[in-house]
Structure 1
């Protein structure tokens, strides 16, 4: 439920959440955190960019006050990143003062990437005696290396910014144990001040609904993907796997449904044409939840082609648990956190091996009983262990600690 944003001042237990890379409520993890805090008595404000479907600069959604700003074109090079990040920092500071005057806040909760939001959290920590909580979403030094393949002065800057963020934070929350170790070992944080809050799915959003055969485009099977269309997401490897399935294996009964937007979407669409598989692939771009769920519910197998590198090996991918919540068997490259999340719900292809991924996909497509067993395992694991409801106590413990100002 949305409404115009009035001018009002809040009471106790007030938090300001900062996000730069996605609008709210589109960012699932941030929105789950925000709605959870609101349900437990917190006054929640969010500063974030605008985005498709989220163009209003001020609004209330489900009792959460959202202040948005417009960014230049999404960064994909040094100058564009500089323009994006400098604009974001200016608007974040500007809107933080506005929120301070209109509603107030006791805690600044900063979500990366990027790792410069500690400047905002640190400023208000020093001059307004607020607390600063860092929500560690991405390991940016590894992300930089994955994107550009080098450790140069900018990589060193990423390491410095990360360290400065951890040193400024009163409390840090990590998405998994790999990130927790980084906060402690590389960030120098006291282990008692680092909480693991996984990005479990909210099961009331991920509804299992009947498949829509039309999405298979006249073919017997559908392979589904949801996520960002970026370089480190391995969409090129998935398209190479599709080429191997169609051309080398002679399979004309498999279609691929790829849901999501990103800086590499146009490039991946061109690559599909170059590889001769464009007729076997549907790129939806960013779509509403109901269309996303239609595609995934119609899929026989879901895939996670994230490139095997240091960043992805340590990162928990939301898409994996979303596939599991819908009872779908998975194929992915063999990565530490991916294997931890999925367990027996997934087959694991050799790292960055598109041919092996293709073979694992067709192996599952040709074995419906195995698909059913794997899907049931994943669904049970999410329902019993990984759903967001199991992370709520961890989030609230982190907030108790940040408000107390003492070690938990």
Structure 2
């Protein structure tokens, strides 16, 4: 199917995007949405935290106005997250007023986590007649359970905040069908108000490049991973799989390249040392796109070690799409949305079983013809079905609906 460029359309409207967990433009989904909306005639502003390489408190990039605040706290426990999110809510509310007076906005587009931005949305709906769109990135009750392993008072609070976020939203965006069902069944939203907009990769960013052999550290094979180094990402399982390959299977020809930062990075580095495999594992930390893409282009097999739990079972992982976009065969645990995305581009290990993951990795490393076939299947699936260009009309449809409802509301007020 030939690639089609979305036509520029005049869609007058001003949008304010709120995001807490990553700075823009580093958060790729948020940046794709922002630049797409700008390219289709909207005025777009973003409020987000600062981060490494994104220290300016205000700048304009590709026509998008970015307002940032310093969030000098990286939470680890439940109380820590409460403090972090409270500070973020304060700074976001403060900057929302700043954007209101400097540029104005018609719609607040809130990305979670946390599920607290409905408070800002509700305030501006009630007193300023703005509209509120909820962009559902994470299912926070399940995320809390995945991080802390319990369903306590905080878990019930997560359910309460999620419910009120959906009640406040005029329109919501879900990243997959599992999230759409949650919006309808748990959030009580009308089905026609929930739009599925997947996080499709952009092939002009994920370019095919020649491998960099030095990343293999003198070994024949490279196993690649990109993502957050957190508890629910299962890096401990990946390191246990690496240990089994190197120590139990006596494979000294495999190196592991792990790209990404997070709260568990130092702990995982120490674990690699304790397992006696540190010389076989490169932890890059958070790096620029170029280095990430070079690592993935060099990898022979890519892995997704996300823990099998309710959160990951229902979530679509960006890393899977990126692996497929670069034509890489994948090994991951057998999760619902992981299968929906990758299909035959992946082998599926038993849930939370590092030995089976190790065996699946070696199975692919020792079968170059199968690796090529799986990689081509995944890349063709992205080109023909999953690339961001196919999600653009869905995003614009959500905005057509929210602006139509806003115009109807305005017309009704004028006739009173």
Q: Deviations over 1:7-57 (max 9, x none)?
A: xxxx94000000000000000000000000000000000000000110000
Partner of 2:375: 375
SS at match of 1:369: helix
Q: Deviations over 1:308-354 (max 9, x none)?
A: 00110000000001000000000000000000100000000000000
Deviation at 1:86, TM superposition (A): 1.4
Q: CA contact under 8 A between 1:136 and 1:174: conserved in structure 2?
A: yes
With normalisation by structure 2, the TM-score equals 0.94
How many pairs align?
397
Partner of 1:217: 217
For 1:204-243, list aligned pairs within 5 A. 204-243=204-243
Partner of 1:293: 293
In structure 2, C-alpha distance between the alignment counterparts of 1:233 and 1:378, rounded to whole Å:
22
In structure 2, C-alpha distance between the alignment counterparts of 1:383 and 1:291, rounded to whole Å:
23
In structure 1, C-alpha distance between the alignment counterparts of 2:147 and 2:81, rounded to whole Å:
13
Deviation at 1:84, TM superposition (A): 1.1
Partner of 2:275: 275
Deviation at 1:61, TM superposition (A): 0.5
SS at match of 1:405: helix
Deviation at 1:85, TM superposition (A): 1.2
Partner of 2:261: 261
Partner of 1:39: 39
Partner of 1:384: 384
Partner of 1:341: 341
Partner of 1:14: 14
For 1:57-76, list aligned pairs within 5 A. 57-76=57-76
Partner of 2:175: 175
Partner of 2:156: 156
In structure 2, C-alpha distance between the alignment counterparts of 1:226 and 1:12, rounded to whole Å:
38
Deviation at 1:78, TM superposition (A): 3.0
Partner of 1:99: 99
In structure 2, C-alpha distance between the alignment counterparts of 1:244 and 1:73, rounded to whole Å:
36
Structure 1 gap ranges (5+):
1-10
Partner of 2:131: 131
SS at match of 1:100: helix
Q: Deviations over 1:51-93 (max 9, x none)?
A: 0110000000000000000012211113322321111011000
Partner of 1:7: none
SS at match of 1:202: coil
In structure 2, C-alpha distance between the alignment counterparts of 1:266 and 1:367, rounded to whole Å:
34
Deviation at 1:193, TM superposition (A): 0.2
In structure 1, C-alpha distance between the alignment counterparts of 2:83 and 2:59, rounded to whole Å:
26
Q: Deviations over 1:190-230 (max 9, x none)?
A: 00000000000011000000000000001000000000000
Partner of 1:145: 145
SS at match of 2:282: strand
Partner of 2:54: 54
In structure 2, C-alpha distance between the alignment counterparts of 1:179 and 1:365, rounded to whole Å:
34
Partner of 2:108: 108
Structure 2 gap ranges (5+):
1-10, 409-416
In structure 1, C-alpha distance between the alignment counterparts of 2:208 and 2:78, rounded to whole Å:
42
SS at match of 1:332: strand
SS at match of 2:258: strand
RMSD of aligned Cα (Å): 1.0
SS at match of 1:25: coil
Runs of 4+ in 1 over 4 A off after TM superposition: none
With normalisation by structure 1, the TM-score equals 0.96
Q: CA contact under 8 A between 1:72 and 1:83: conserved in structure 2?
A: no
For 1:348-359, list aligned pairs within 5 A. 348-359=348-359
Partner of 2:398: 398
In structure 2, C-alpha distance between the alignment counterparts of 1:79 and 1:145, rounded to whole Å:
15
For 1:21-32, list aligned pairs within 5 A. 21-32=21-32
